[in-house]
Structure 1
Amino acid sequence: MDDLLELDDQLDPEHRLIRDSVRELVSGKVLPHVGEWFEQGTFPARELAPALGSLGLLGMHLEGYGCAGLDAVSYGVACRELEAGDSGLRSFVSVQGSLAMFPIWKYGSDEQKEEWLPRLASGEAIGCFGLTEPDYGSDPAGMRTTAKQDPSGDWILNGAKMWITNGSIADVAVVWARTDEGIRGFVVPTSTPGFSSAEIHRKLSLRASITASLYFDDVRLPASAVLPGVAGLKGPLSCLTEARYGILWGVVGAGRACLEAAVDYATTRVQFGKPIGAFQLTQEKLAWMAVSLGQAGLTALHLGRLKDAGKLKPHQVSFGKLANVRAALDIAREARTVLGANGVTLEYPVIRHMTNLESVLTYEGTQEVHLLTLGKALTGLDAFR
């Protein structure tokens, strides 16, 4: 009984069907193994991608080219159920759909769309998104990766990107680079000479996720590799807005998984002659966790409806990402205390979600970036510089 507000009753039958289908996939293919993947620092992307594609989850909010063309609430509900399994699973789907496929779909040429979108939608191909650099995370305008056109018209790409989900397993990378005409996006097959990647190890968060650095050493690309439909930071920032929307739904799933684990444990763990859930202090913890989860779910549903109505603004996405990630992280931390020492083992999902959420708090815009975004929306004054 974690949905005290009965929010899912507000979903359409199609949304509930998506919920149940994704939940079944996660229960069957992910939950029995994700603790081991997390412990070993692996993620079977190639094995899972076709199953995700067959359900229409890859680029599900895009139209045409084999994409499902579903509404924003459908995408949100799917992200929620995916992240109830693990943040790494939802990250894979978010990167594929919102960061690799979306810019090609929104800004790409017909040839780029036809070459890549059907393969990415089916899971045959895997994509990644190259924006963050070793020295430029929250300030992408300072990026050092460059692309220069030579007399033949080809682009020569040089530089490096870091913290790239799917980076070492991707077939194609959407890479943002500085050019003489501003920041531009490039569709880069990872088989191109001069492109290399290195997986990042020793992570203590998002361990069931592939994270890599990308390197470009005189990568020669044809003129047709550039995304023709956008120039400047508008391109990558619009992609981040798409991904952040999925996150603000996804973390509701992570929070729910932690609350469910805490309730189950509290009603079965006996101390002092009765279940610990019968003690007032434990019930207070569970009640506050449920309140936070309900508020996060309301925020996600409201923003989903705004997006479907074409009214969602970037600062509202920042509101949702900021508020919901913080709520989910607080729920995970409180759930860990309910489970006591058992809460730090991978026999239960709580510590896995808690450490994952530490990364989710930072990526796709740090907490500080979103706070300043809301401050600017309130005051009209830019505090970033």
Structure 2
Amino acid sequence: GELFTGLPDWGRLMALPAPQLSPEEKAFLDGPTEELCRLSDDWQITHELADLPPQVWAFIRQHRFFAMIIPKRYGGLEFSPIAVAAVLAKLSSRSAVVASTVGVPNSLGPAELLLHYGTDEQRDYYLPRLASGDEIPCFALTGPRVGSDAASIPDTGVVCRGQWEGREITGIRLNWDKRYITLAPVATVLGLAFKLSDPGHLLGPQEDRGITAALIPVSTPGVAIGRRHFPLNVPFQNGPTQGHDVFVPLDAIIGGPERAGQGWKMLVEQLSAGRGITLPSNAMGGSKAIVYASGAYTRLRRQFNLPVCEFEGVGEALARMAGFTYIINAGLSVTATAIARGERPSVPSAVLKYHCTELARRVTNDAMDVQGGKGIMLGRSNYLARSYQGIPIAITVEGANILTRSLIIFGQGAVRCHPFVLKEMEAANDPDFSRGLRDFDRYLFAHVGYAISNAARTFVLALSNARASHAPMDGPTARFFQHVNRYSAAFALVADVAMLVVGGGLKRKEMLSARLGDVFSCIYLASMVLKHYDNQGRQSADLPLVEWSCRTLLYQAQEQLHGFLRNFPNRWVAALLRVLIFPRGRMYSAPPDELGQQIVALITRPTETRSRLCEGIYAAPEPGCVIGQLQAAMETGESLLPLQQRVREATKAGLLPPGDFHEHIEQARIQGILSAEEALQLRQFDADVLALTAVDDFDPAELQSRMQSSQP
């Protein structure tokens, strides 16, 4: 919220403790989570079964993966958001299908809603069953006629009299048509959002009750589930559900009849879990795995007698991949810590959902470019293609990214985080007119003073290139703190002026709103990067990643402010704002090439920075885990560098006849340049690299059989 005021409270942010796992959470991460990754063969899941194998489903239930957020008194694991994020990130580094299957019940689903709004009877009945895996939950919100505009859902529930278990009661008759519902095909209990009406006034005088959430056992007559969607070859259980004249008692409403009409409030308040933890965790795990694999692959793969990571074009992409992954990691780890301490950061959660999934998309696209044919050819040895195929899924779910950027980030934040706007709105709507007028005047005058102060602060910081602002610590990151201060003040000024000049029409100016959202997002994420660096002990070796991330984010903040002013409808106001914000022009620059080259050197060798950046993924050096095998081969290659160099120097000196490296090894042994043992080590290493850089091929009959079996 301080970023909306133009005065970031660095003391509060830096006092936030570093994320930590309890011994129990760490044991779960190192034990059952590691074992679930080992059991999960992503090629089998995505190509052969289009589902998790039975032993994986059983393992998930047995070890209560669906119950990470359920309290222990109900049989759950009661993990912190930090632990949930760590588990999902590790699973995502192995299989997006497994991560999605585990993630959904631990975000916006029946368990989350029951914990916050359910009656004691509902919690006592459902939560132990959900924890044990006897019940598999899903939550049905989206339908064919409504997607992101969930407030307009056409699905209905009518309060009426009906038969239930042999007796006549007052209940709800439901009709719905939903789609895109994760776990719906295999669910046993269905969370449902619908519009409730009471035409017979059986609950009271109010007829239109509004959006309501209820729990429906799928065995209830009239419920249809079982059919599946097939999302981009990432075959997690997702499908449609319909209900026709489904009659349930009133106590099916989450929280009981007194919670009728509160469904939208429930969903809005709890959606931040999915946005702030689940999807960013998947993005983080996938990006870390891709950077880990790509760093090793580009060190091992050689073209024109050089490791491909030493080509500047490849290095440029690798630096982006590492920098974006650092930003994702920083944003998620710090925000998850805030959520674990009781915060409900709806706006930062929207920032994370949008930017983590978008940055993960860019990481994946760069990796495909870097690895070329290796990334394109599907097969068991391809660790990249399914991630590439599945990226649009994360972009689309939990609020499509276009919507999130254009409407939600700034649209919600402008009201919720502004120090005066919400108070002014509440005062204007106060039923006590005289009190409301008095409060409104007080807030308005304070607002005006705040705006004038921000304008002066913005101009001074811009004129001094932020050197006039306070940094919470000295050292190599001090200037980044100062620049965040500067752009925070500029953002607060521009947001205030935009709301004053454009007013309510700002919501319809989606491109302007999106640019303001981008500015806020960039300074928020830059703050997270600085805090994350501090949390990790301010390791000087990581400074290239920190500097690249901050420079990239602050440069984007500058450019989005410029774009906003360039397109602001009132040109006189835009000109005045430009004088205040950019009196010396746009001085901030993107990261220099040299910085990117430093990052490449850090992530293409077995360094501590590489380990910290990619910590928490599944990378066992075993058959079936190509990522772990690549790391092992890179480490072996590092240990054999003196031998490789000896062979290459002999080749350059003309001591060895023309041929490839494999042939040179044998010739070097014959000529005594290598001992027999050294030659054996190099031959084995060369064979391992050749196997790891190979691609799969298939008998045509095998592919035809697979295509025929996938026909509906």
- The residue number in structure 2 matching 1:275 is 307
Question: CA, structure 1 residues 13+182, in 2 after alignment: closer, same or farther (shift >3 Å)?
Answer: closer
Question: CA, structure 1 residues 330+41, in 2 after alignment: closer, same or farther (shift >3 Å)?
Answer: farther
* Structure 1 residue 18 displacement after superposition: 4.1
Structure 1 Cα separation of the partners of residues 342 and 28 of structure 2: 22
Is 1:316 the equivalent of 2:343? no
* Structure 1 residue 40 displacement after superposition: 4.1
Matches within 5 A, 1:134-149: 134-149=144-159
Structure 1 Cα separation of the partners of residues 375 and 182 of structure 2: 27
Q: Which amino acid aligns with 2:400?
A: T
Is 1:118 the equivalent of 2:118? no
Q: Which amino acid aligns with 1:224?
A: D
Task: Work out whether residues 144 and 177 of structure 1, in 8 Å CA contact, stay in contact via their aligned partners in 2.
Answer: yes
Q: Which amino acid aligns with 1:165?
A: T
Is 1:130 the equivalent of 2:140? yes
Structure 1 Cα separation of the partners of residues 370 and 79 of structure 2: 38
Question: CA, structure 1 residues 339+66, in 2 after alignment: closer, same or farther (shift >3 Å)?
Answer: same
Is 1:68 the equivalent of 2:72? no
Structure 2 Cα separation of the partners of residues 257 and 374 of structure 1: 28
Is 1:196 the equivalent of 2:224? yes
Question: CA, structure 1 residues 102+267, in 2 after alignment: closer, same or farther (shift >3 Å)?
Answer: same
What TM-score, normalized to structure 2? 0.50
Structure 1 Cα separation of the partners of residues 22 and 215 of structure 2: 37
- The residue number in structure 1 matching 2:279 is 247
- The residue number in structure 2 matching 1:375 is 410
Offset from partner CA, 1:30-58 (integer Å, 9 cap, x none) = 1xx21222124622276434423444432
Structure 1 Cα separation of the partners of residues 122 and 55 of structure 2: 25
* Structure 1 residue 358 displacement after superposition: 0.9
Structure 2 Cα separation of the partners of residues 290 and 22 of structure 1: 28
Offset from partner CA, 1:335-376 (integer Å, 9 cap, x none) = 111210120224222121122121111101111222121121
Task: Work out whether residues 118 and 255 of structure 2, in 8 Å CA contact, stay in contact via their aligned partners in 1.
Answer: yes
Matches within 5 A, 1:162-311: 162-180=179-197, 181-207=209-235, 209-228=236-255, 230=259, 231-244=262-275, 245-311=277-343
Is 1:331 the equivalent of 2:341? no
Secondary structure, in 3 states, of the residue corresponding to 2:74? Answer: coil
Offset from partner CA, 1:309-335 (integer Å, 9 cap, x none) = 222321110011111111111111111
Task: Work out whether residues 36 and 56 of structure 2, in 8 Å CA contact, stay in contact via their aligned partners in 1.
Answer: no
- How many residue pairs were aligned? 374
Secondary structure, in 3 states, of the residue corresponding to 1:114? Answer: helix
Task: Work out whether residues 159 and 170 of structure 2, in 8 Å CA contact, stay in contact via their aligned partners in 1.
Answer: yes
Secondary structure, in 3 states, of the residue corresponding to 1:185? Answer: strand
Q: Which amino acid aligns with 1:352?
A: R
Question: CA, structure 1 residues 46+169, in 2 after alignment: closer, same or farther (shift >3 Å)?
Answer: farther
Task: Work out whether residues 302 and 308 of structure 2, in 8 Å CA contact, stay in contact via their aligned partners in 1.
Answer: yes
Q: Which amino acid aligns with 2:278?
A: G
Question: CA, structure 1 residues 93+314, in 2 after alignment: closer, same or farther (shift >3 Å)?
Answer: same
Structure 2 Cα separation of the partners of residues 68 and 253 of structure 1: 21
Question: CA, structure 1 residues 29+367, in 2 after alignment: closer, same or farther (shift >3 Å)?
Answer: same
- The residue number in structure 1 matching 2:43 is 35
Secondary structure, in 3 states, of the residue corresponding to 1:150? Answer: strand
- The residue number in structure 2 matching 1:348 is 382
Task: Work out whether residues 22 and 78 of structure 1, in 8 Å CA contact, stay in contact via their aligned partners in 2.
Answer: no
* Structure 1 residue 267 displacement after superposition: 2.1
Moved more, 367-376 or 290-299: 367-376
Structure 2 Cα separation of the partners of residues 36 and 124 of structure 1: 25
Structure 2 Cα separation of the partners of residues 233 and 179 of structure 1: 12
- Which consecutive segments of 4 or more residues in structure 1 shift more than 6 A? none
* Structure 1 residue 179 displacement after superposition: 0.3
Task: Work out whether residues 231 and 393 of structure 2, in 8 Å CA contact, stay in contact via their aligned partners in 1.
Answer: no
Offset from partner CA, 1:109-164 (integer Å, 9 cap, x none) = 22222222112212232111101111111000110111111133121110111001
Q: Which amino acid aligns with 1:242?
A: A
Task: Work out whether residues 117 and 254 of structure 2, in 8 Å CA contact, stay in contact via their aligned partners in 1.
Answer: yes
- The residue number in structure 2 matching 1:155 is 172
Q: What are the ranges of 5 or more consecutive residues in structure 2 without an aligned counterpart?
A: 1-17, 162-168, 198-208, 416-503, 511-712
Q: Based on CA coordinates, which of the two structures has the bigger radius of gyration? A: 2
Question: CA, structure 1 residues 45+141, in 2 after alignment: closer, same or farther (shift >3 Å)?
Answer: farther
Q: Which amino acid aligns with 1:215?
A: Q
Greater share of strand = 1
Task: Work out whether residues 163 and 212 of structure 1, in 8 Å CA contact, stay in contact via their aligned partners in 2.
Answer: yes
Task: Work out whether residues 287 and 363 of structure 2, in 8 Å CA contact, stay in contact via their aligned partners in 1.
Answer: yes
Secondary structure, in 3 states, of the residue corresponding to 2:507? Answer: coil
* Structure 1 residue 78 displacement after superposition: 1.1
Q: Which amino acid aligns with 1:277?
A: C
Structure 1 Cα separation of the partners of residues 92 and 31 of structure 2: 14
Secondary structure, in 3 states, of the residue corresponding to 1:360? Answer: helix
Moved more, 242-251 or 135-144: 242-251
Q: Which amino acid aligns with 1:376?
A: G
Name the % identity. 22
Secondary structure, in 3 states, of the residue corresponding to 1:312? Answer: coil
Structure 1 Cα separation of the partners of residues 221 and 113 of structure 2: 23
Task: Work out whether residues 79 and 247 of structure 1, in 8 Å CA contact, stay in contact via their aligned partners in 2.
Answer: no
Q: 1:88 aligns with which of 94, 97, 101?
A: 97
Structure with greater contact order relative to length (CA < 8 Å, sep ≥ 6): 1
Task: Work out whether residues 272 and 344 of structure 2, in 8 Å CA contact, stay in contact via their aligned partners in 1.
Answer: no
Structure 1 Cα separation of the partners of residues 82 and 410 of structure 2: 27
Question: CA, structure 1 residues 276+364, in 2 after alignment: closer, same or farther (shift >3 Å)?
Answer: same
Task: Work out whether residues 144 and 177 of structure 2, in 8 Å CA contact, stay in contact via their aligned partners in 1.
Answer: yes
Question: CA, structure 1 residues 169+238, in 2 after alignment: closer, same or farther (shift >3 Å)?
Answer: same
Structure 1 Cα separation of the partners of residues 216 and 321 of structure 2: 44
Offset from partner CA, 1:65-84 (integer Å, 9 cap, x none) = 11111211111111111211
What TM-score, normalized to structure 1? 0.90
Task: Work out whether residues 59 and 102 of structure 1, in 8 Å CA contact, stay in contact via their aligned partners in 2.
Answer: no
Structure 1 Cα separation of the partners of residues 266 and 301 of structure 2: 51
* Structure 1 residue 60 displacement after superposition: 1.2
Q: Which amino acid aligns with 2:507?
A: A
Question: CA, structure 1 residues 271+328, in 2 after alignment: closer, same or farther (shift >3 Å)?
Answer: same
Is 1:57 the equivalent of 2:65? yes
Structure 2 Cα separation of the partners of residues 348 and 359 of structure 1: 20
Structure 2 Cα separation of the partners of residues 183 and 326 of structure 1: 31
Question: CA, structure 1 residues 215+24, in 2 after alignment: closer, same or farther (shift >3 Å)?
Answer: same
Secondary structure, in 3 states, of the residue corresponding to 2:396? Answer: coil
Greater share of helix = 2
Task: Work out whether residues 58 and 120 of structure 1, in 8 Å CA contact, stay in contact via their aligned partners in 2.
Answer: yes
Question: CA, structure 1 residues 121+340, in 2 after alignment: closer, same or farther (shift >3 Å)?
Answer: same
Structure 1 Cα separation of the partners of residues 79 and 284 of structure 2: 20
Secondary structure, in 3 states, of the residue corresponding to 2:191? Answer: strand
